[in-house]
Amino acid sequence: MLQTQTVSENTLALIKRLMADPQLNDFLLVGGTALALTIGHRLSVDIDLFAFDSFDAALIANHLKSVYYAEEVKPRESSLICFIDQVKVDLITHPYPEVSPHNQIDGIRIMSLSDIAAMKLHAIVRSGSRLKDFVDICFLLEKMPLAEMYAAYEEKYSPHSRAAVARMALTDTSGVNLNDEIRLSYLSFNWEATKQRLQEALEFTQKIFPAMKQNRIRNDPPEKKRGFRM
């Protein structure tokens, strides 16, 4: 069952409409929104659609403009960024094999957790600045151990990926942009608790973590209110 509370009604309706579009049959929902709809950990606003094969970005751009009245359309080679009903939509060619078969739920083709984990590690290795990537890994640890994520990363991006590189990228959080907004579904966001869980996962790579819990103190003034604990 999809965790539809993590996206707006408008975004969910748009995702389903795009998924039903014959012109977009080759695209899968990936990224933070795919993960949020699967595990329900945070709110997400963007739509990321990936295809395994290259596509005609100019042709798709014209289609999105004529059918969906897309705005700020920026087609590039095998990629496209636009806004539809004020929702940012990215369409990208990502020519890497699936680690596990994707799912189809309520008409939405959605990438597996193993593949999402691999792609999140890939993003952290390449940049390491997006706070949401570290947060997503933190909550994925409630579904699979870090060792399994490493294996998925190496399999998906072989031969150009190594678990040791992903480990180094997860260890170095100095470049993370802490100004990015993170809206968790049922917790107050706490970067220190996130780092603590990641550090523990780096030490105990076979561990699956319990769900994070909000501290019981709920009536403190905002400046004293505590974040979540593990």
CA distance 93 to 60: 13
Question: Does 208 lie in the same domain as 117?
Answer: yes
Q: What is the CATH number of the domain that holds 38?
A: 3.30.460.10
Question: Does 129 lie in the same domain as 42?
Answer: no
Mean pLDDT of 166-193: 96
Residue 174 domain boundaries = 113-217
pLDDT in tens, 74-86: 999 999 999 999 9
Token pair in block for residue 77? 């080679």
With bands split at pLDDT 50, 70 and 90, how would you rate the model's confidence at 213?
Answer: confident
CA separation, residue 175 to residues 34, 51, 123 (Å): 25, 29, 13
Average pLDDT, the chain: 93
Please indicate, yes or no, if residue 224 is contained in any of the structural domains: no
Nearest Cα residue to 183 out of 221, 135, 222, 140: 135
Among 143-152, 186-195, 212-221, which stretch is predicted with the lowest mean pLDDT? Answer: 212-221
Number of domains in the chain: 2
Residue ending a domain, among 95, 110, 125, is: 110
With bands split at pLDDT 50, 70 and 90, how would you rate the model's confidence at 221?
Answer: very low
pLDDT at residue 62, rounded to an integer: 98
Token pair in block for residue 166? 């992903």
CA distance 206 to 201: 8
pLDDT at residue 214, rounded to an integer: 62
Say if CB 53 and CB 93 are below 8 A apart.
yes
Please indicate, yes or no, if residue 27 is contained in any of the structural domains: yes
Residue ending a domain, among 55, 84, 110, is: 110
Please indicate, yes or no, if residue 198 is contained in any of the structural domains: yes
Nearest Cα residue to 194 out of 158, 140, 143: 140
Mean pLDDT of 219-227: 35
Q: Quick check: pTM over 0.95?
A: no
Phi, psi of 111 (to 5 degrees): -65, 150
Question: Does 162 lie in the same domain as 93?
Answer: no
Pairing label, strands 213-214, 108-110: unpaired
